[in-house]
A and B are shown apart, each in its own frame.
Chain A
Amino acid sequence: MTELTTPATKRRATFQWRGIAITVAAFVLALLVGAILMIVSDPEVAGQFAYLFTAPALPLGAAWAKVSSAYAALAVGALGSPAALAATTREAAPLICAGLGVGLGFRAGLFNIGAQGQAIVGAILAAWVGFALQLPPVLHVIVALLAGLLGGALWGGIVGYLKAKTGAHEVIVTIMFNYIAVGILAWLLTTPAFLRPGRQDPISPEVHPTSTFPGIFGQLHVGFLVALLAAFGTWWLIERSTIGFTIRAVGANPNAAGTAGMDVARTTIITMAIAGMLAGLAGVQVAIGPAANGVPTPLSQGIVGSVGFDAITVALLGRSRPLGIVFAGLLFGGLHAGGLSMQSIAGTPLTLSMVLQALIVLFVAAPGLVRTLVPFLRERRAVVAGGQA
């Protein structure tokens, strides 16, 4: 960048370039696999391949039409218009929040698979404040937000406590806590406090308009700004605060951190509580953030969808850095938003975006595989390493 670039920063710049190149390659590879999947699973298109050697234009044209229409609809739905971009931000907001929670755990060396449960508990509390209490407009949103944060922090904090005090593996405990949260939600939705009057199916009343995140433009609402603020806050916490330094130290080497006088057990509890709080914020986003129809979805069994598991992929793709997580959240938010339009315009099921998401993360997590599949990246490495290729 400047004249003062030292070898160390130069090497770092190369490293970052390679990281981005691998992410891009992973994205392209995922799209390729997705295209093959689309062609194979469509009997009409796949049937045309009988003529591959007699009339190659027929199958190739049909395949191209199928794939291009689906991916065009995906791109248009995610990026094609200001309204599409707004829809992408709405889908991205909970992903970013929960992704920050998972990413923070990764930085402390903890696998927070429990973002799902933490988001559910956050959503339960935020929604309850939203529909059960009567408060003035701005205050109502803030109280609902704080309730959700508290719920997530509690749910994550218990796991941190168990990990710190008994050594229970957080992966198993968080998976179990996800199911316990689902069970609690299922039970609450049968109680008079949560069940919408006059309904038998498990659904809560709608939250009051006073407790809804105000809209800004189209589907873009204040919740997205809250997510960005949370990303900034997490960045500050990790990179600039004492507790963040402790978190990173414990993540790098808990024994060394303990020897240096840091309280590893306390750090584990605090990290899990904050991570749970961020995942709880994702629950708040779905509980009081307006959905595509302009009003928040009432509490029901599938309220948070699969945000907790998507968050793991977001944190991985964003390499556990807050800025990276924002971009990764926007990418997957775009995949979700575009997936909806792909489904309605091109008739390609929404589930394809889930496949793409998993493939992207698989390829990103295995750079060795990407280098094998994309010779360009491998040659590049050979030049850097050996100077001959």
Chain B
Amino acid sequence: MSTATIALRDEVIRLDQTESREARRARLSSGGLMAGIGLVLLVLAFRTKGEARYALSGYFDAVQLPTFSLPGLPTVLVCGLITLAVGAGFLGGRLNPRLRAGAATLAGIAVMLGLVTWAASGVGLPFQISNQLAGTIALATPLVLGTLGGVLCENSGVVNVAIEGQFLVAAFTAATVGSVTKSIPMALVAAVIAGVLMAAMLAVFAIRYIVDQVVLGVVLNLFASGLTGFIFDQLVQPNSSQLNSAPIMQAIPIPLLSSIPLLGPVLFNQTILVYLAILSVFLVAFLLYRTRWGLRVRSVGEHPEAADTVGISVRAVRWQAVLLGGVFAGLGGAFFTIGSTGAFNKDITVGNGFIALAALIMGRWHPVRAALMAVFFGFVTQLATQLQSLSTPMPSQFLLMLPYIATVIAVAGLIGRSRGPAADGVPYTK
């Protein structure tokens, strides 16, 4: 307690370093969280047997990189100590605020490494790092695109719980149009149109008819699930050879870059959607923060009355943002069919739209941060799948729950308040 008092006294004297009550609570709770996880790792360290093997290359890669091993106990122990130290630094308030982000990242990496080492120790099979990276990219691509759709929508003040529905309809359209035309570009265009149409439904009910946006999102998801399910049952399944066998997108290697060992194939030998997703992050960030239109979008999301007073048409800007968001959600939806097996199945998106929504909130409505959160969710999900195949002591179901628990912790303000656009979800009527 004495350190806390000293810290408090410090605040009184040095005004430039004062800390609001909210920030203080966030600092203490995230510190406590890290310290707790660090302690858990320390306990786990002494139950770690043998060594963990990490394989840098897949079995079939052209360039075979070595498989290296980490001794189980010391690695987990060091990771636990790092996490504990960072946690203690947060709790004590001794850590320079400028160093905090870096320290927290370090702790995050330590937690991951410690956890994987603990899980993979004493198991004969090596942990496939290239698999982990490739799987992360594959899982994160639709999430990134979906979350960008949400970012545009919500920054303009329209809550988008319907990302799941947009995904689903776009995935379905991509599969059927792709099957009929046998053309990837046509399927992508169709998916974008489908995403925009769903977005138009969201816009017309939210902006024109002022339906409560959360409820609307839930109903649109139900509608999308019913619509695609019905047409699938009635039309597609009986003719699946003509209507449900779309071509699959092929990876396009970028010359030179794709031959870098380990990272090359993961980042530079991907389908067009992956490149589009990466470009979209910068595009949306540029649109929102560097253009006049983006300023208008953010202004109608923060304070529509003020925007209206200076002559911005609130409804028109919101319509544009929601429809443009539909483009990205549509691209994301296409990934589930023509980006993976080419076939559609009922409810193929299995809640990814909600994860994209969670990434949006964890990323505090900012395109780059939201995309990073989407990558994190993809990483954790892939980790759970990988650990499942290693038959580790921890049930993989718990790892699969990690993104959701992380979201709850973030939303509950334990790592810092996530506050959205002020007028998010508030319809504008003159």
Contact count band on A: 35 or more
Contact A173 B408, beta carbon cutoff 8 Å: yes
User: Which residues of B have CB within 8 Å of A359?
Assistant: 223
B314 in the interface (beta carbon within 8 A): no
User: Which residues of B have CB within 8 Å of A37?
Assistant: 227, 230-231
Stretch at the interface among A72-80, A182-190, A206-214, A251-259: A182-190
Report how far A313 CA is from B395 CA in the complex, Å: 35
Query: Which chain A residues numbered 319 to 361 have a C-beta less than 8 Å away from chain B?
Result: 348-359, 361
Contact B397 A357, beta carbon cutoff 8 Å: no
Report how far A244 CA is from B168 CA in the complex, Å: 40
Contact B226 A168, beta carbon cutoff 8 Å: no
Report how far A186 CA is from B397 CA in the complex, Å: 7
Residue of B nearest to A185 (CB): B397
B129 in the interface (beta carbon within 8 A): no
Minimum distance in angstroms from A16 CB to a CB of chain B: 21
User: Which residues of A have CB within 8 Å of B215?
Assistant: 111, 312, 316, 365
User: Which residues of A have CB within 8 Å of B161?
Assistant: 171
User: Which residues of B have CB within 8 Å of A175?
Assistant: 354, 357-358
A176 in the interface (beta carbon within 8 A): yes
Contact A312 B218, beta carbon cutoff 8 Å: yes
Query: Which chain B residues numbered 349 to 368 have a C-beta less than 8 Å away from chain A?
Result: 351, 354, 357-358, 361
User: Which residues of B have CB within 8 Å of A369?
Assistant: 205, 209
Contact B209 A368, beta carbon cutoff 8 Å: yes
B286 in the interface (beta carbon within 8 A): no
Contact B214 A352, beta carbon cutoff 8 Å: no
User: Which residues of B have CB within 8 Å of A187?
Assistant: 395, 397-398
Whether A42 touches B234, Cβ cut-off 8 Å, given contacts A169-B411, A190-B395, A358-B219, is yes
Contact A172 B395, beta carbon cutoff 8 Å: no
Residue of B nearest to A159 (CB): B408
Report how far A352 CA is from B222 CA in the complex, Å: 11
Contact A173 B411, beta carbon cutoff 8 Å: yes
Minimum distance in angstroms from B54 CB to a CB of chain A: 27
Q: Contact check: which of B214, B397, B401, B412 meets A166 at CB < 8 Å? A: B412
Q: For the complex, would chain A's binding face be called helix, strand, loop or mixed by DSSP majority?
A: helix
Minimum distance in angstroms from A313 CB to a CB of chain B: 7
Residue of A nearest to B25 (CB): A166
Contact B223 A43, beta carbon cutoff 8 Å: no
Report how far A309 CA is from B220 CA in the complex, Å: 11
Minimum distance in angstroms from A303 CB to a CB of chain B: 16
Residue of A nearest to B230 (CB): A351
Q: Contact check: which of B233, B357, B397 meets A351 at CB < 8 Å? A: B233
Query: Which chain B residues numbered 395 to 430 have a C-beta less than 8 Å away from chain A?
Result: 395, 397-398, 400-401, 404-405, 407-408, 411-414
User: Which residues of B have CB within 8 Å of A366?
Assistant: 205, 209, 211
Contact A351 B395, beta carbon cutoff 8 Å: no
Minimum distance in angstroms from B234 CB to a CB of chain A: 5
Report how far A145 CA is from B70 CA in the complex, Å: 51
Contact A365 B216, beta carbon cutoff 8 Å: yes
Contact B401 A365, beta carbon cutoff 8 Å: no
Minimum distance in angstroms from A372 CB to a CB of chain B: 9
Report how far A359 CA is from B205 CA in the complex, Å: 12
Q: Contact check: which of B211, B400, B405, B414 meets A365 at CB < 8 Å? A: B211
B10 in the interface (beta carbon within 8 A): no
Residue of B nearest to A189 (CB): B397
User: Which residues of A have CB within 8 Å of B43?
Assistant: none
Query: Which chain B residues numbered 220 to 270 have a C-beta less than 8 Å away from chain A?
Result: 220-223, 225-227, 229-235, 239
Contact B222 A313, beta carbon cutoff 8 Å: yes
Contact B227 A166, beta carbon cutoff 8 Å: no
Minimum distance in angstroms from A164 CB to a CB of chain B: 11
Whether A351 touches B229, Cβ cut-off 8 Å, given contacts A41-B234, A309-B221, A365-B215, is yes
Q: Contact check: which of B222, B361, B404, B412 meets A309 at CB < 8 Å? A: B222
A179 in the interface (beta carbon within 8 A): yes
Whether A313 touches B219, Cβ cut-off 8 Å, given contacts A177-B408, A366-B205, A368-B209, is yes
Report how far A351 CA is from B230 CA in the complex, Å: 5
User: Which residues of A have CB within 8 Å of B211?
Assistant: 362, 365-366
Contact B397 A43, beta carbon cutoff 8 Å: no
Q: Contact check: which of A162, A183, A355 meets B400 at CB < 8 Å? A: A183
A146 in the interface (beta carbon within 8 A): no
A220 in the interface (beta carbon within 8 A): no
User: Which residues of B have CB within 8 Å of A362?
Assistant: 205, 211, 216, 219-220, 223
User: Which residues of A have CB within 8 Å of B229?
Assistant: 349, 351, 354
Query: Which chain B residues numbered 69 to 90 have a C-beta less than 8 Å away from chain A?
Result: none
User: Which residues of B have CB within 8 Å of A387?
Assistant: none
Residue of A nearest to B414 (CB): A166
Query: Which chain A residues numbered 29 to 58 have a C-beta less than 8 Å away from chain B?
Result: 37-38, 41-43
A132 in the interface (beta carbon within 8 A): no
Report how far A316 CA is from B217 CA in the complex, Å: 13
Q: Contact check: which of B210, B223, B361, B401 meets A358 at CB < 8 Å? A: B223
B61 in the interface (beta carbon within 8 A): no
Contact A354 B407, beta carbon cutoff 8 Å: no
Report how far A183 CA is from B239 CA in the complex, Å: 35
B19 in the interface (beta carbon within 8 A): no
Give me 7 other A-B pairs in contact (C-beta within 8 A), A167-B413, A350-B233 excluded.
A41-B230, A172-B411, A173-B412, A349-B233, A354-B225, A354-B226, A355-B223
Return 20 A-B CB contacts under 8 Å, by A number: A41-B235, A111-B214, A113-B218, A172-B411, A176-B405, A177-B404, A179-B351, A180-B404, A183-B401, A184-B397, A186-B397, A187-B395, A312-B218, A312-B219, A351-B226, A351-B233, A354-B230, A359-B223, A362-B220, A366-B205
Q: Which B residues have a C-beta under 8 Å from some C-beta of A?
A: 161, 205, 208-212, 214-216, 218-223, 225-227, 229-235, 239, 346, 351, 354, 357-358, 361, 395, 397-398, 400-401, 404-405, 407-408, 411-414
5 A-B pairs with least C-beta separation: A354-B226, A349-B233, A351-B229, A358-B223, A355-B226
Q: Which A residues have a C-beta under 8 Å from some C-beta of B?
A: 37-38, 41-43, 111, 113, 162, 166-169, 171-173, 175-177, 179-180, 183-184, 186-187, 190, 306, 309-310, 312-313, 316, 348-359, 361-362, 365-366, 368-369
